[in-house]
Amino acid sequence: MSGFGPGDPFLADCPARLAVELIADKWTVVVLYGLSRGPVRHGELIGLIGGISRKMLTQTLRRLEAHGLVRRHAYAEVPPRVEYELTPLGATLIEPIHMLTEWARANGDAVLDALDGSPDAHRPHGADHEDDRADEAGERIP
């Protein structure tokens, strides 16, 4: 018995789980941070972030807009100009992002050291470790 029950954080249909799934995307936190100092145009954001394709940035911005974290503002100008900015809801994530950044600064080397020393560090994602496979009764599955 796990000790978890309905309504506990991170279980199905829980707001905490939704939040983690939202920010667990590779680019979400980086895009949110890129918007943290004010409105930015799409091309500027690509240059600021680095390593993200136009398509991926567009997908990420649309997802964040759909979740109410980013606002898209299209100006009626020639040539057209579009800027993205955090909504008040999106801005509430900046402090937790700062906290994660500080944790990474303080513990990043330890995580990398653990990866370097782990025999599983180079195992493909999702690959079963021989000792990890067991049936419900705890019997090892060959």
| Cβ atoms of residues 84 and 57 within 8 Å | no
Helices H / strands E in the chain, number of each? 6, 3
Does the pTM exceed 0.85?
no
Phi, psi (degrees; rounded to nearest 5) at 82: -125, 135
Looking at residue 28, what is its pLDDT? 95
Asked, as a colleague might, if the bond just before 39 is cis with ω within 30 of 0, I would say no
**What gap in Å lies between CA 131 and CA 137, rounded to an integer?**
14
Phi, psi (degrees; rounded to nearest 5) at 84: -120, 145
| Average pLDDT per 10 consecutive residues for the chain, totaling 142 residues | 60 73 88 96 95 96 96 93 97 94 94 84 51 48 46
